[in-house]
Amino acid sequence: MLTNFIAVQHLHEENFKLSQSSCDKDVILNILSVLTDLLSLGTGRRIHYVVSKGGSEALLQALATAARTEPPDHGTLLPLLRLLARVGQRDRKFGLKVQKAEATDIILSLARRHLGHHLHLTHCLWVLRVCASNVTTGAMLGINGAMELLFKVITPYSKRHVRTVRAAIGALAALLKSKSNSRRAVNRGYLGELLRLYQDWHRNDVSNNYIYIRRGLLLCLKYITNIQLGRETFLGSRGMEILFTSVQDCLSCKNLDPIITTATHILRKCYPKEHLPVVTVRSSYSFPLPGNANAEPLCEGSEGDSESEGEEETEKDWDNEDVESKEEDCDLETDVNKLRSRPVLDRPEQELEKYEALCAELSQNFQELEFESEEKKSLEDRTENLPSAPSHFIPSATSVKYPNCRWRNQSVTEMGPDPGEQDFKVPFQSWRKKEECIWDKNDEKRDIAEEAQNKDFCEEEDPSRSHVSAFCPLPKDAAWYKKMFYPHCEASINASPEGRLESSDIVRNLLEKHHIPFHSPCFYAARAKCVKSIPGYRELAFPDFWGHQPPPSSKPVLERKHGVQRDRVLDDVRRLIQPGDVIGRTVFDLDDPSSGSSPAAPGCLTFFSKFESGNLRKAIQVREFEYDLMMNADVNSSQHHQWFYFEVRDMKSAVPYRFNIINCEKFNSQFNYGMQLVMYSVREALQGRPRWIRAGQDICYYKNHYRCSAAAGGGVRGRFYYTLTFSIKFPHKDDVCYLAYHYPYTYSTMMSHLDILEQNRNPKKVYWRQQTLCQTLGGNPCPLLTITAMPESENRHDLEQFCSRPYVFLTARVHPGESNSSWVMKGTLEFLVSSDPIAELLRKCFIFKIVPMLNPDGVINGNLRCSLSGDDLNRQWLTPSSQLHPTIYHAKGLLYYLRSIGRAPLVFCDYHGHSQKKNVFLYGCSIKETLWQAGCMVDTAVVTEDVGYRTLPKILDKVAPAFVMNSCSFLVEKSRASTARVVVWKEMGVLRSYTMESTYCSCSHGLYRGLQLGTQELEEMGSKFCLGLLILHLKSLPCSKELMAQAALLLDLEEEITDRAQRISVFLIPDCPPTWEICWQWQKLISCPHLCCSCATLRQVVCSHPPSIFQDCLWILALTRDLKSFLSF
């Protein structure tokens, strides 16, 4: 306090004295020395104080005075300059103040006069540097010859007067931040000079004593290359080679990190920009749309226009989430009227009547249909002439002796003719998917006949193969499954009867032993046969066919190695500098089927992805163990790359292969925060470990040198591309592996899952109805499910109860790349039809309307975001087109219908995946929260709002380990006005209308903190969502006595509860007291009004709530076993 006070006093005094400008020298010197002492101590607060009191102006004025005296008074000048440098650094407006005081010339001429006097010169340079921090002042200094002056100081290379050189380089770097200075510097040839100088320092500074000078020079280069001219000159001056070579010398030394990082940054920025190595960035697949609708304008434009990316190339760091949140704020809807208005119907009212057929449960005549027989059931709902009628379609266990599905057999036409395979062209074609969907015994015969012609061509390599029993465990090489799945490869070998029997036996054998809950390879293959895809898929990906069983434990997020991104970028630059080992061979190309047709070069991987959800477009072998990969754009689009799914084979084991996916688009990715991709090994699967696992090392995600011009991209602006890079060591030699962005979940997976659920449900208890909401553009049925409990009995009361259950409307997978949402939905569905007592109770509470996949075509064709129309379907809810967006049009129609009969759903939730965030969370809609967040005045008297939208997420936060309330948001953004959540909230008046977002990566809180989510955790989220709905129901609605009694009864079955608690982990708190005991204590509580102190809080709750709520409390309490968290509800 005291020192501050003194400082102020002195400052004022000084101001006064300086303004007299005739004061005696000793006084000024004294003041300067006191100020110097004061400001050299303590924190920046003192300097800020001085600045706020006009210190900078006073010092500048003093400088002008001192400089005017002849000869210059160095005794005053030096401390003055020191103070100015110090204060100027902290004064944001210093540059402006310098201009105002017209001090630029003074400083420059002072510096010029002292060129021969290094101590004085250094002081001038310090001030020059702070002056240049303001771009305008910097430009002015540049015009007045500051750079020429500085160059005189820093060249030629010399270790004399290092301090001065350092100050000069610092000032030069500051000046080069101005574009006009950079341009001037390039034109005067300074860039080459800087490079040479940097080389000299690098070469001579063997013991790394002058890192700051070397880094300073790099900073000069970094700023100068911010302009296009700078980058071009840099390339022309062999800048890439020079920096790259120098960095190689630095890599082994850890304290050279600042140099390596800056040099890498420059290298990355200056790497010559290119277009992606594809003919066009538009999708390889196009789909003719009904009517004259055009998805995206088809303008290729002239390639090579890179000016659209602008002069300046600023590299933002990848973790700037602030920017995002600020943008979000501007996006908020602040018009109260818009928030409150309910738009008119988007279609004629009479059109809604047709949706009555999709709500048969409301007019169900149970007297006739009572506990329907399966035969009856199969007759109804199947009138749409779909190829999916289960009674005809699903192969029964007895009819399937031999699966006629083929996963991934290379077709002759696809891979180009191979002379050795000619003979097999005809029989092979018979394997292709035919239009018919009925399980065809002829196929089986044909296959067996075909097998007869195939003989194991690797028999010599594996003598054990003649014994069927020897196939489990697998032989060491790939021979046998090559034979099984690639019979055409064995063309050169004559048929033998043993071979045939053997193969079919192996498959049968394997299938018999193979069991994954809720999955059947036969069902999958049967469903996949009927799928209509644009490329006309004939192959199945093995993982989808064979199934996935989650690994026993989840994997922690990957720890990021130091400098991994830097190393990868340098490796990319090496292609340019040392192209000796660059192969550059296209090994897979969707656009050119002839590529990769010849047998793969030895040591080269084979790629494939022409199967459901696959989307590899091109693979280029860069170096022996490195591949550049490109994903296909969404159909009828030229963008949306993030999702990937492909097959790779012919690998060596124990060698790290590097893969670069070079056409990613998002500016950042969870791959930079420990997320791994997933891998499935066929060998592992056949050895009893059929699973996707998190895989990949050295993962990072960064902006690369590929660009897309505005014209080619069909957008307004040009685009940047990003590289996702990872290394994989495959577990086995010559394995067949699949790599994907996230756990794949195809349309056929979903359809066969529904088949299995329907078969496995208890028809006496579970009301299950699968209808077709509509056909998609691509001609695939979009299923709609109705799930509830069968009525208790035929009596009127029970039937009424059945019909009056509130609706819950759930949808998922509108965005095809968000396969996590399908796994969550899988969990929801399995729980809903299960015999779990909670599920039974839940079914009695609600009628569930579920559209498990809103965008089947997108999923099938490997899209990331859009449907076949090239539209993001979750931006079409305001005015969906019946032609272009049928699934949205009809889902909305059904919701309209429910609203029109007064049965709008209690809860609507659309399941999604979020690629940038962690945790599982909900987006909801609240007028008040939106207005508050936007900083609007809210008249609470006018805007009334039920806060019920918060209850469900709060409950989920308690019951679902992956769910985090803090990640939820209830803001209504303008850009989201046409999403399901906002439209259903506004137009259907559904208070609890949500988007549920699930991370691809991990959780930041709770039980799964730091663990990468697997399918098990995602499925669990789906079941917990159901539990949340039940608690919501018991909490917020008047419940019948029977229901409460049932709930109580449920809890009474203590053993079963404990069991269930373990199974679905209702709310796991170790060592908590038995459930019923708490309830019992609570009961005692009501009857006894005189309670001890510790129970005061409980009493408060009991006394302030009506008995019905208390009953709910009791139930929840028992269910969640967590008194404390319940009270904070």
Which residues here bind Zn ion, judged by CB under 5 A? 815, 818, 912
Q: How far is CA 659 from the centre of its chain?
A: 19
- Encoded amino acid at 21, one letter: S
- 717 token code pair: 């602006």
Using the minimum distance from each CB to Zn ion, give the nearer residue, 544 or 818.
Answer: 818
How far from 958 is each of 240, 842, 1024, 1025, 1044, CA to CA, in Å?
Answer: 55, 18, 10, 11, 21
Using the minimum distance from each CB to Zn ion, give the nearer residue, 179 or 918.
Answer: 918
Nearest distance, CB of residue 815 and Zn ion, angstroms: 4
- Contact call for residues 549 and 793 (beta carbons, < 8 A): no
Nearest distance, CB of residue 668 and Zn ion, angstroms: 17
Nearest distance, CB of residue 916 and Zn ion, angstroms: 11
Q: Is 876 helix (H, G, I), strand (E, B) or coil?
A: coil
Using the minimum distance from each CB to Zn ion, give the nearer residue, 976 or 1024.
Answer: 976
Beta strands in 840-914 (DSSP E): 847-851, 907-914
Q: What does the alpha-carbon distance between residue 1038 and residue 1036 come to, in Å, rounded to a whole number?
A: 7
Sign for the CA dihedral angle at 793, 799, 804, 808 comes to positive
- Contact call for residues 647 and 608 (beta carbons, < 8 A): yes
Q: What does the alpha-carbon distance between residue 375 and residue 378 come to, in Å, rounded to a whole number?
A: 5
Using the minimum distance from each CB to Zn ion, give the nearer residue, 550 or 913.
Answer: 913
Nearest distance, CB of residue 813 and Zn ion, angstroms: 9
Nearest distance, CB of residue 1000 and Zn ion, angstroms: 11
Q: How does DSSP classify residue 935? A: T
Q: What does the alpha-carbon distance between residue 906 and residue 352 come to, in Å, rounded to a whole number?
A: 20
Sign for the CA dihedral angle at 351, 356, 358, 359 comes to positive
- 1050 token code pair: 């449920």
Nearest distance, CB of residue 913 and Zn ion, angstroms: 6
- 252 token code pair: 């082994």
Across the chain, how many H-helices and E-strands are there? 49, 19
Q: Which of 304, 294, 300, 282 is nearest to 711 (CA)?
A: 300
User: Across-strand partners of 786?
Assistant: 769, 849
Using the minimum distance from each CB to Zn ion, give the nearer residue, 231 or 815.
Answer: 815
- 84 token code pair: 């100015």
Using the minimum distance from each CB to Zn ion, give the nearer residue, 137 or 995.
Answer: 995
Q: Which residues lie below 8 Å from residue 61, measured CB to CB, with a gap of 6+? A: 18, 19, 101
Nearest distance, CB of residue 643 and Zn ion, angstroms: 12
- Contact call for residues 675 and 1002 (beta carbons, < 8 A): yes
Using the minimum distance from each CB to Zn ion, give the nearer residue, 424 or 1000.
Answer: 1000
Beta strands in 326-441 (DSSP E): none
Nearest distance, CB of residue 742 and Zn ion, angstroms: 13
Nearest distance, CB of residue 877 and Zn ion, angstroms: 13
Q: Which of 327, 445, 438 is nearest to 387 (CA)?
A: 438
Nearest distance, CB of residue 866 and Zn ion, angstroms: 11
Give the DSSP per-residue string, 472-515. Answer: SSPPSSSHHHHHHH-GGGGTTSPP-HHHHHHHHHHHHHHHHH--
Q: What does the alpha-carbon distance between residue 633 and residue 870 come to, in Å, rounded to a whole number?
A: 10
Using the minimum distance from each CB to Zn ion, give the nearer residue, 735 or 818.
Answer: 818
- Contact call for residues 770 and 784 (beta carbons, < 8 A): yes
Q: How far is CA 752 from the centre of its chain?
A: 27
Using the minimum distance from each CB to Zn ion, give the nearer residue, 443 or 818.
Answer: 818
Q: How far is CA 1085 from the centre of its chain?
A: 50
Which amino acids are annotated catalytic? 997
Using the minimum distance from each CB to Zn ion, give the nearer residue, 269 or 912.
Answer: 912
- 40 token code pair: 């050299």
Give the DSSP per-residue string, 527-571. Answer: HHHT---SS------HHHHH-----SSPPBPPPPPTTHHHHHHHH
HSE-CB for 502 with a 13 A CA cutoff: 24
Q: Torsion over CA of 26, 29, 34 and 37, rounded to 10 degrees?
A: -140
- Contact call for residues 616 and 639 (beta carbons, < 8 A): no
- Contact call for residues 489 and 457 (beta carbons, < 8 A): yes
Q: Which of 993, 999, 1015 is nearest to 964 (CA)?
A: 999
Using the minimum distance from each CB to Zn ion, give the nearer residue, 123 or 912.
Answer: 912
Using the minimum distance from each CB to Zn ion, give the nearer residue, 490 or 872.
Answer: 872
Residue spans of alpha helices (H) in 993-1040: 1015-1036
Q: Which of 52, 44, 53 is nearest to 11 (CA)?
A: 53
Nearest distance, CB of residue 995 and Zn ion, angstroms: 8
Instruction: Look at the block and give the residue holding tokens 């963008």.
Output: 639
Give the DSSP per-residue string, 109-142. Answer: HHHHHTTT-HHHHHHHHHHHHHHHTSHHHHHHHH
Using the minimum distance from each CB to Zn ion, give the nearer residue, 539 or 818.
Answer: 818
Nearest distance, CB of residue 874 and Zn ion, angstroms: 6
Nearest distance, CB of residue 882 and Zn ion, angstroms: 23
Write out the H or E segment, with its range, that includes residue 727.
Answer: strand 719-729
